[in-house]
């Protein structure tokens, strides 16, 4: 079973699911160790934190290797390794988390407080595998810090710098993050399907085919052809117990798929309901969808406790519908701008003629 996982791109939540499958298969097989090779400029902080937690929960001895560039959220994955190696030319990059925010001032303040908390949490994760303090890491993140492999080892973030490969040189310091990533990808040797004779002989041995020590390439090819011919022979019908087992596996997989679809639909309905009720904005849909996938119970409770928001225009319309009057009919453009800017935007979308009349009346 393959004991190496390659992550050579920006990380997203699907990488966390792929990592979980990789580690789970190895754990069930009785393996004791594995290697995760990284060359990534970063990506989703949530994905990086989720992958870090999964690695730390594994009983395997996990070696993480910086093959060229480990930046941003990918540093959380690297830091989770029991052994943390880096190529001699490798670079690390740490900075504050980023995000988008809109809404009222109080909402913006809440988001800022949340980002400060996540920055603090990230610094605390770095502290666990380094000689730096939380405050020092926060300052380094704020400044956006780039570390060489040797600098990372000096603070214990990296446990081992691998020997430099002949002919490899460090990249130009003026390179951007994207250029660095491409540069390091070019240094990684391409995978080849060609196997050495000794590897083929070992594989045949595992298949029960014994070859003499002085077996030639022709002997190996003949043994492979014999195996291929044997594989093409009719196979006896499986026993009833095996058929039953396959049926149970299929039904279990169908149940898992059904539950996954139900969960996805439930998340979609919950997020759309929160948007329609004014609890969150449409631009926050992806964020809350990711949070629900990672922690459905707590996130759904947070959404349930959120108060719905209505604009001044909505509240005024409600009053007008019960009193039979709407004092806003006398408002000019300036009045709308000052009293109900959101209502003015709604008018522009839903009643363009009325909106143009207001604009025409601007003095």
Cα distances (angstroms) measured from residue 322 to each of 316, 317, 318, 319: 10, 9, 7, 5
- Phi/psi of residue 107, nearest 5 degrees: -70, -40
- Evaluate whether the domain defined by 4-187 bears CATH number 3.40.50.150: no
Q: Which of 242, 175, 231 is nearest to 207 (CA)?
A: 231
Q: What does pTM read for this prediction?
A: 0.48
Alpha-carbon distance 81 to 83, whole Å?
5
- pLDDT tens-digit profile, the chain (363 residues): 578 999 999 999 999 999 999 999 999 988 899 999 999 999 998 999 999 999 999 999 999 999 999 999 999 999 999 999 999 999 999 998 765 556 667 766 776 677 678 888 889 999 999 999 999 999 998 899 999 999 999 999 999 999 886 555 566 656 666 666 566 566 555 544 445 566 666 776 766 677 777 776 667 677 776 766 665 556 555 555 567 677 777 877 887 788 788 888 888 888 888 887 778 888 888 888 888 888 878 878 887 877 766 554 455 554 444 444 456 778 888 888 888 888 888 888 888 888 888 888 776
Domain boundaries, the chain: 4-187, 243-305, 313-360
Neighbouring-strand partners of residue 65: 37, 85
Residues 122 and 114: beta-carbon distance below 8 Å? no
Neighbouring-strand partners of residue 83: 63
Cα distances (angstroms) measured from residue 326 to each of 176, 314, 320, 358: 58, 12, 5, 16
Please give, one letter per residue, the 3-state secondary structure of the chain: CCCEEEECCCECHHHHHHHHHHHHHHHHHCCCEEEEEEEECCECHHHHHHHHHHHHHCCCEEEEEEEEEEECCHHHHHHCCCEEEECCCCEEEECCCCCCCCCCHHHHHHHHHHHHHHHHHHHHHHHCCCCCCHHHHHHHHHHCEEEEHHHHHHCCCCCEECCCCCCCCCCCCCCCHHHHHHHHHHHCCCCCCCCCHHHHHHHHHHCCCCCCCCCCHHHHHHHHHHHHHHHCCCCCCCCHHHHHHHHHHHHHHHHHHHHHHHHHHHHHHHHHHHHHCCCCCHHHHHHHHHHHHHCHHHHHHHHHHCCCCCCHHHHHHHHHHHHCCCHHHHCCHHHHHHHCHHHHHHHHHHCHHHHHHHHHCCC
């Amino acid at each position: 079973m393959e004991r190496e996982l390659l992550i050579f791109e920006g990380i997203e939540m699907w990488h966390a699911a792929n990592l979980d499958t990789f580690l789970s298969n190895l754990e069930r097989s009785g393996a004791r160790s594995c290697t995760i090779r990284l060359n990534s400029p970063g990506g989703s902080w949530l994905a990086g934190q989720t992958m870090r937690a999964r690695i730390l929960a594994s009983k395997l001895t996990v070696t993480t290797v910086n093959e060229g560039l480990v930046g941003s959220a990918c540093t959380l994955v690297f830091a989770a390794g029991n052994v943390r190696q880096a190529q001699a030319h490798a670079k690390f990059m740490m900075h504050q988390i980023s995000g988008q925010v809109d809404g009222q001032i109080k909402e913006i303040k809440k988001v800022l407080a949340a980002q400060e908390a996540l920055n603090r949490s990230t610094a605390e994760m770095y502290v666990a595998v380094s000689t730096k303090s939380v405050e020092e890491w926060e300052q380094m993140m704020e400044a956006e810090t780039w570390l060489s492999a040797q600098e990372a080892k000096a603070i214990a973030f990296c446990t081992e710098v691998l020997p430099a490969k002949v002919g490899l040189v460090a990249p130009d310091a003026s390179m951007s993050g994207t250029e660095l990533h491409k540069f390091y990808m070019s240094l990684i040797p391409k995978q080849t399907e060609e196997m050495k004779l000794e590897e083929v002989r070992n594989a045949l041995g595992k298949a029960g085919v014994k070859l003499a020590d002085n077996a030639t390439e022709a002997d190996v090819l003949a043994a492979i052809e014999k195996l291929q011919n044997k594989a093409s022979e009719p196979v006896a019908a499986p026993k009833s117990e095996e058929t039953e087992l396959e049926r149970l596996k299929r039904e279990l997989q169908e149940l898992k798929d059904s539950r996954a679809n139900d969960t996805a639909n439930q998340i979609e309905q919950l997020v759309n309901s929160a948007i329609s009720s004014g609890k969150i904005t449409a631009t926050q849909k992806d964020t809350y969808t990711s949070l629900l996938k990672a922690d459905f119970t707590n996130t759904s409770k947070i959404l349930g406790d959120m108060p719905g928001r209505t604009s001044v225009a909505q509240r005024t319309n409600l009053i007008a519908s019960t009193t039979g009057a709407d004092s806003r009919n006398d408002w000019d453009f300036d009045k709308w701008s000052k009293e109900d800017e959101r209502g003015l935007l709604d008018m522009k979308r839903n009643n363009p003629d009325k909106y143009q009349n207001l604009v025409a009346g601007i003095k």
